[in-house]
Amino acid sequence: MTCVAARSLLHGCVSVEEGADGWLWPLRFSASQLRALGSVRAWHPGLYRAMARTTAGICLEFVTDASQMSLELAPDGEPPATRAVLDYVPKRPGEPAPSSHDGIAVEVDGGPADLLPLTRQRSTVDFWVQGRQESADGAVQLPGLGRTHQVRVWLPCLRGCQIRALRGNGTLIEPVAARRQLLVLGDSIAQGFVCDDPSRSWPVLLARELGLDVVNQGLGGQVFQPGSLFGLKAGVDVACIVVALGANYRYEPCDARRVMRDVQLYLDELSRLWPDVLCLVADPLWHDEGRWPSHPRSCWREVPRLIATQVARHGQMRHVEGSRLIDHRSSLMADGFEHPNAEGSRQIARRLSLVFATQRTDEPSRRRRAAALMKDAPRRCLPLAQMIQRSLATIELAERGCVVARTPDGIQTIWADDAQLGRDALAMVVDAPLAVLLEPCLVRDAGLVAGLTDVAPFHLCSYERTRALTPPRGLEVRPLDESHLPKVLAGYAHPEYTSEAALRALLGEGRILGGFADGVLTGFIGEHPCGSLGMLEVFVPFRRRGWARALLCAKINEQLAKGWVPWAEVYPDNAASLALVRSLGLRVLPANETCYVSRLS
pLDDT score at 121: 72
pLDDT digits (tens, 9 = 90+) for 501-534: 989 999 999 999 999 999 999 999 999 999 999 9
Which spans in 380-483 are helix H?
382-390, 419-428, 443-450
CA distance 87 to 428: 32
pLDDT digit string (tens) for 6-26? 999 999 999 999 999 999 999
Spatial separation of the C-alpha atoms in residues 320 and 426, rounded to whole Å: 14
Phi, psi of 261 (to 5 degrees): -65, -45
Which residue in 251, 126, 236, 115 sits closest to 181, CA to CA? Answer: 236
Distance, CA of 342 to CA of 103 (rounded, Å): 14
pLDDT at 99: 83
**Element counts in the chain: helices (H) and strands (E):** 17, 30
Q: Are strands 68-75 and 238-244 parallel, antiparallel or unpaired?
A: unpaired
β-strands 238-244, 279-282: how paired?
parallel
What pLDDT score was predicted for residue 95?
A: 72
Section 66-95 average pLDDT: 91
pLDDT per residue over 474-489, tens digit each? 999 999 999 999 999 9
Task: Please determine, for residue 230, whether its predicted confidence score (pLDDT) is greater than 60.
Answer: yes
Residue 557 has pLDDT above 80, yes or no: yes
Domain boundaries, the chain: 2-359, 361-462
Type of residue numbered 243: V
How sure is the predictor about 595, in pLDDT bands with cuts at 50, 70 and 90?
very high
The domain 2-359: what is its CATH number?
Answer: 3.40.50.1110
pLDDT value, residue 1: 87
Range of lowest pLDDT (61-75, 87-101, 128-142, 155-169): 128-142
Kindly state the average pLDDT of the residues 350-372.
96
Q: Which of 556, 366, 374 is nearest to 466 (CA)?
A: 556
Q: Where are the beta strands (DSSP E) in 230-322?
A: 238-244, 279-282, 317-320
Residue percentage of the chain with pLDDT more than 90: 91
Q: Residue 98: pLDDT band by 50, 70, 90 thresholds? A: confident
Alpha-carbon distance of 6 to 26, in angstroms, equals: 10
Band (pLDDT 50/70/90 cuts) for residue 572 is: very high
Handedness of CA 278, 315, 357, 427 (dihedral sign): positive
**The pLDDT of residue 327:** 97
Query: Above 60 in pLDDT, residue 336?
Result: yes
The pLDDT mean for the chain works out to 95
Amino acid at 456: A
Terminal C-alpha separation, the chain: 71
